[in-house]
Amino acid sequence: MNIVYHAKSKTFHLYNDRLSYIMTVLRNGHLGQLYCGARIHDREDFSYFLEFAPRAMSACPYENDRSFSLEHLRQELPSFGTGDYRDGAVEVFQEDGSRLTDFHYVNHQITPGKPKLNGLPATYTESDGEAMTLLVTLRDDLTGVTAELSYTIFRDFGALARSVRYSNKGDRPVTLTRAMSLCLDLPDCDYDWLQFSGCWTRERKPVCRRPEQGITAVGSRRGHSSHEQNPFVVLKRPTADEDQGEAFGLSLVYSGNFLIQAEVDAHSTLRLLAGIHPEGFGWLLKPGESFQTPEAVLVYADRGLGDMSRTFHRLYGRRLARGVWRDQPRPILINNWEATYFDFNEDKLLRLARQAKDCGIELFVLDDGWFGRRTDDRAGLGDWTPNPARLPNGIQGLAEKIEALGMRFGLWFEPEAVNKNSAMYEQHPDWLLATPGRTPSQGRYEYLLDFSRPEVVDNLHAQMAAILGGAKVSYVKWDMNRSISECYSAALPPGRQGEVYHRYILGVYDLYERLTKEFPHILFESCASGGGRFDPGMLYYAPQCWTSDNTDAVERLRIQYGTSFCYPVSSMGAHVSAVPNHQMYRVTPLETRANVACFGTFGYELDLGRLSGEELGEIKKQVAFMKEYRALLQFGDFYRLKSPFEGNTAAWMTVSGDKRRAVVGFYRILNTSNDAYTRLRLRGLDPDRLYRIKGTEACHYGDELMRAGLITSDSTAGEQYGVVKPCTDFISRLYILDAAD
């Protein structure tokens, strides 16, 4: 790992064992991009990467020199309209109406470690030896605005972190109307674009397309990262797969409106941009003020998509997630929501908790309905005080009784929303996000609070801190159940309304930061109607997220598979729920529901009192299994084996760091008749180590299991007449592999 500056050629080379990133100061003082990809040798001069050739219809800044045009140069901070007609990374609206800028090199600084981003989530280091950071300062002389470009190269990851800090050092106010976090200009467009799209209850489906001349983009303007698109894309070579080939993964550490786009020009070069969505964005910078963009993380892999994903898993699991729970196996929980919905009292909750304790479950979570006037979803949000009719002893009394059973206690909040039927709304109607003179839309019978206002955040902090500080709460599920509409803050003047979306997210981050610091023992799980805010920004505060409101095992195969391209297993909230499933009305075996959910944080969402003795016995076995293997399942190296989007079977596995133990999950969606013999090629094992398959006498070397495959044939390969345990729809199996020393 190193950052080298070659003064004679004005070239920067950032590199580690996997990655090289090379830039240079161009003739006009702009910062030019030379190379991004596999590690290459350092040298004094990489100027041969720059190609100059006169092109027709190009705008050129130097008279009588048609070879130098920004339209055909790769740049780090391009600005539209200066001869470059591609979308730019920055736009500054000035008092005279101009939007042009000319950011040129001023100086740079190379430091060990990684500085913290003020008020924003970001990757971090625990020692200066883990990373090096380059800060390059550029300046637009006419406005006095400076751009400090930050690049961090990591020692242990094939990753680069990039962000920009804009400062107004002039004497006139300006407005940032475009502030991308990353621009990557690639010399060709021979890539497949992979995005992760969907909607509520079917999030993060991999969608592959070819970027053609024009713009390919994903983004959100909903006020949160959204169910529909995720702030993560992949550019992979067309021949790349799980095991081989080049891929760039681009992830934005942000939870609000975002844009990631690839623009292919007429000469087949590709510009990749990522940052805050410019639609509706405008940030006023008075003299002396600054603006920090969110961080973008770029991962390069030349050993396939699986290698890229595991880089993200390790980086985000160890150097984005924080706190005491970052490296700890997660407690097995039961959530009362699908067991009771709003129909509960303390006795009913304690009865469910005792049944859960008998099964070995460790954490009881009280979901929606415990506060204020809340007896359904039309009242109470905003009033975070216990409802004495339901909880006569309050949260403190209930938590003490749960703890007395030998379990931990967790609690649900939705702090960003308010119902009109609440004391908060009656006292502070102006705290809603609502446009003057317009009828505000409602979603789920609720409205969003104006988290851009410090007094709103302070109020929610006081209410939540009183509950968390007054009771034995070990876990918080933080929900958010609607997108922003009619985005307007009564506390800001008209000229600053373009700041509200971003200030809202900063307010959410501020509340998270305060609470996680005050209550470091609490495990926070983020949730936004399931997967509506499953993004890296949330992982900085809450090391796990409710992956989707859809708990059907078959749909979860797809959702968790797509999520795994960027996010670690330890971040995926995954539970066993009742059947018929409450979202899909599908009936799947209890075994399969657990075999899917165990590749996640694991828990239950059902009424244990409705289960048979046989089913309760099965749950006890599932809980015991998870306690033995959860550290491996949640923190091992994860490998995708068969995609649920491409056939009737799906498979994945996780391998311990020392490669001595592995768990393989194999799933068949629909039953088959007189089918073929089947094998599953495993990944990530030690080829020279002998592995014993638990429950059998079979032992195989790692190279056998990875080259020839694990035999998965069952009674569907023949007649099922007389078979003791015939196969059915939605069947699954777990294979446990241990080193046979």
Tell me which amino acid residue 622 is. Answer: Q
Asked whether 152 and 110 are in contact (CB, 8 A), the reply is: no
* Owner of token pair 């997220």: 545
Cβ neighbors of 499 (< 8 A, separation 6 or more) are: 282, 283, 284, 452, 492
Q: Please tell me the predicted confidence (pLDDT) of residue 536.
A: 98
Token readout for 253 is: 């550490």
Strand pairing category for 575-577 and 603-605: parallel
Domains, the chain, in order of start with CATH, read: 2-319 (2.70.98.60), 333-418+453-483+519-629 (3.20.20.70), 649-739 (2.60.40.1180)
**Counting beta carbons within 10 angstroms of the beta carbon of residue 133, is it exposed (0 to 12), middle (13 to 18) or buried (19 or more)?**
buried
As a whole number, mean pLDDT of residues 407-415 equals 98
Rounded to 10 degrees, the C-alpha dihedral 261/262/264/265 comes to 50
The CA dihedral of 31, 35, 36, 38, to the nearest 10 degrees, is -150
According to DSSP, the β-strands at 523-526 and 544-546 are: parallel
The active-site residue, picked from 185, 549, 552, 714, is 549
Q: Is 406 exposed, middle or buried (0-12, 13-18, 19+ CB in 10 A)?
A: exposed
Instruction: Collect all residues with Cβ–Cβ distance below 8 Å to 534 and sequence separation of at least 6.
Output: 203, 204, 225, 230, 526, 528, 545, 547, 563, 567
pLDDT at 725: 79
Q: Where are the beta strands (DSSP E) in 491-555?
A: 523-526, 544-546
**CA distances in angstroms from 298 to 158, 159, 163, listed in the order given:** 9, 6, 11
Strands (E), 399-554: 408-413, 417-418, 447-448, 475-478, 523-526, 544-546
> What are the contacts of 187-190 at 24+ separation with CB within 8 A?
187/74, 187/269, 188/268, 188/269, 188/270, 189/262, 189/264, 189/268, 189/269, 189/270, 190/237, 190/238
**Which candidate in 87, 185, 479, 637 is catalytic?**
479
Share of the chain above pLDDT 70, in %: 100
pLDDT at site 54: 84
- Quote the DSSP letter at residue 470: H
User: What tokens does 114 get?
Assistant: 């990684």
Q: How far apart are CA 515 and CA 520, in angstroms?
A: 8
Tokens of 146: 């400076």
How close are the terminal C-alpha atoms of the chain, in Å? 37
What's the rounded mean pLDDT across residues 729-735?
A: 97
pLDDT of amino acid 726:
84
Give percent of the chain above pLDDT 90: 94
**In the prediction, which pLDDT does 717 show?**
85
Say how far apart CA 373 and CA 386 lie, in whole Å.
9
Coil vs helix vs strand at 190: coil
Residue 445 corresponds to which tokens in the numbers above? 């019978």
DSSP 8-state secondary structure symbol assigned to residue 30: P
| Res. 300 pLDDT band, cuts 50 70 90 | very high
For residue 55, pLDDT beyond 90: no
Three-point CA angle 279, 504, 288, nearest 5°: 80
pLDDT value of residue 53: 80
Q: Exposed, middle or buried, 64 (CB in 10 Å: 0-12/13-18/19+)?
A: exposed
> What tokens appear for 421 in the block?
């039927």
Q: DSSP letter at 35?
A: E
For residues 543 and 439, give the distance between their C-alpha atoms in angstroms, rounded to a whole number. Answer: 37
Q: Among 3, 4, 98, 11, which Cα is nearest to 47's? A: 11
- pLDDT value, residue 721: 73
pLDDT band (50, 70, 90) for residue 718: confident
Strand partners, 293: none
Burial of 690 (0-12, 13-18, 19+ CB in 10 A): middle
23 in Cβ contact with 34 (< 8 Å): yes
Q: What is the Cα gyration radius of the chain? A: 27
Tell me how far apart the alpha carbons of residues 557 and 336 are, in angstroms, rounded to a whole number.
23
C-alpha angle with apex 464: 461 to 465, nearest 5 degrees?
75
* pLDDT value at 719 more than 90: no
Q: Which two tokens stand for residue 420?
A: 């009109």
pLDDT band at 208 (very low <50, low <70, confident <90, very high): very high
Q: Which amino acid, 570?
A: S
Mean of per-residue pLDDT scores for the chain: 97
Residues 529-567 have pLDDT tens digits of 999 999 999 999 999 999 999 999 999 999 999 999 999
- In this prediction, residues 214-232 reach a mean pLDDT of 98
pTM for the structure as a whole: 0.97
**pLDDT, tens only, 666-716:** 999 999 999 999 999 999 999 999 999 999 988 999 999 999 999 999 988
CB atoms within 10 A of CB 157: 26
Question: Cα separation of 588 and 555, whole Å?
Answer: 11
Mean pLDDT of 315-326: 98
DSSP 158: S
Cα torsion angle, 478, 484, 488, 492, sign: positive
**Chain segment 231-259, per-residue pLDDT in tens:** 999 999 999 999 999 999 999 999 999 99
168: pLDDT strictly greater than 80: yes
Q: Is the peptide bond before 580 cis (omega within 30 degrees of 0)?
A: yes
C-alpha to C-alpha distance for 728 and 89, rounded to whole angstroms: 54
> What is the Cα–Cα distance from 551 to 588, expressed in whole angstroms?
11
Q: Can you tell me the mean pLDDT for 650-670?
A: 98
Q: Locate tokens 């931990």: which residue?
A: 408
The pLDDT of residue 483 is 97
241 among known catalytic residues = no
* 549 in catalytic set: yes
Distance CA 205, CA 499 (A): 31
Question: What stretches of 676-730 adopt beta strand conformation (E)?
Answer: 679-680, 690-693, 699-701, 710-711
Residue spans of alpha helices (H) in 1-156: none
Burial category of 95 from C-beta neighbours within 10 Å (exposed 0-12, middle 13-18, buried 19 and up): exposed
- Which pLDDT belongs to residue 720? 75
Taking only the tens place, the pLDDT of each residue in 432-488 is: 999 999 999 999 899 999 999 999 999 999 999 999 999 999 999 999 999 999 999
Q: What is the mean pLDDT of residues 74-81?
A: 95
If you write DSSP's letter for every residue of 280-340 in order, what string do you get? T--EEE-TT-EEEPPEEEEEEESBHHHHHHHHHHHHHHHHTS-STTTTSPPPPEEESHHHH
Average pLDDT over residues 620-624: 98
Mapping DSSP to helix (H, G, I), strand (E, B) and coil, where does residue 635 land? helix
Q: What pLDDT was estimated at residue 570?
A: 98
Q: Which residues contact 724 (CB under 8 A, 6 or more apart)?
A: none
